[in-house]
């Protein structure tokens, strides 16, 4: 028949054997970890470190986002002020355009008045020159 094979006893592997040291003596944090866990990077301590690092990064990102949110609110406030000023200046510009139009109209009227006055003055000068010429001819 078949040869009997020596079987290992059923139970826990020596790699999983509990440590005989007390927990208070465990200063390094990984001495009491099972052997297999030590072979694959120290078990929970690396995972906890990674979680702590990610939580730290998350808090930094939240703080940064909060800071950016504050800056955004400040910039939006400034933008609202600028828009208010823009509306104010638009109103002022419309008033100034009306004022400029009035002044241009007045200037045209003044210019027309001046041109008319100048035309009258030229006619008068011409008339006086003609009178002077006539007097000169009479006196010769």
* Residue 136 burial (C-beta neighbours within 10 Å; 0-12, 13-18, 19+): exposed
Average pLDDT value for the chain: 81
- pLDDT confidence tier of residue 44, bands split at 50, 70 and 90: confident
Q: Please name the residues in contact with 15: beta carbons below 8 A apart, sequence gap of 6 or more.
A: 34, 35, 36
Contact of 32 with 21, CB cutoff 8 Å: yes
Which pLDDT tens digit goes with each residue over 51-88? 999 999 999 999 999 999 999 999 999 999 999 999 99
Q: How far is CA 98 from the centre of its chain?
A: 37
Average pLDDT of span 89-115? 94
- The model's pTM: 0.39
Listed range (46-50, 59-63, 68-72, 90-94) with the worst mean pLDDT? 46-50
State residue 61's pLDDT score: 94
**Six-digit token pair at 95?**
């008033």
In the DSSP assignment, the letter for residue 8 is: P
- pLDDT confidence tier of residue 97, bands split at 50, 70 and 90: very high
Q: Please name the residues in contact with 2: beta carbons below 8 A apart, sequence gap of 6 or more.
A: none
């Amino acid at each position: 028949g078949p040869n009997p094979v020596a079987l290992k006893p059923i139970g826990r592997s020596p790699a999983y054997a509990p440590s005989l040291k007390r927990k208070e003596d465990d200063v390094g944090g990984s001495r009491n970890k099972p052997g297999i866990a030590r072979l694959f990077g120290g078990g929970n301590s690396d995972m906890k470190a990674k979680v702590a690092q990610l939580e730290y990064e998350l808090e930094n990102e939240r703080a940064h986002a909060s800071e950016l949110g504050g800056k955004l609110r400040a910039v939006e406030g400034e933008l609202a002020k600028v828009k208010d000023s823009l509306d104010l200046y638009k109103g002022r510009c419309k008033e100034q355009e009306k004022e400029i139009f009035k002044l241009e109209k007045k200037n045209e009227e003044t210019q027309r008045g001046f041109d008319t006055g100048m035309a009258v003055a030229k006619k008068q000068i011409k008339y006086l020159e003609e009178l002077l010429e006539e007097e000169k001819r009479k006196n010769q």
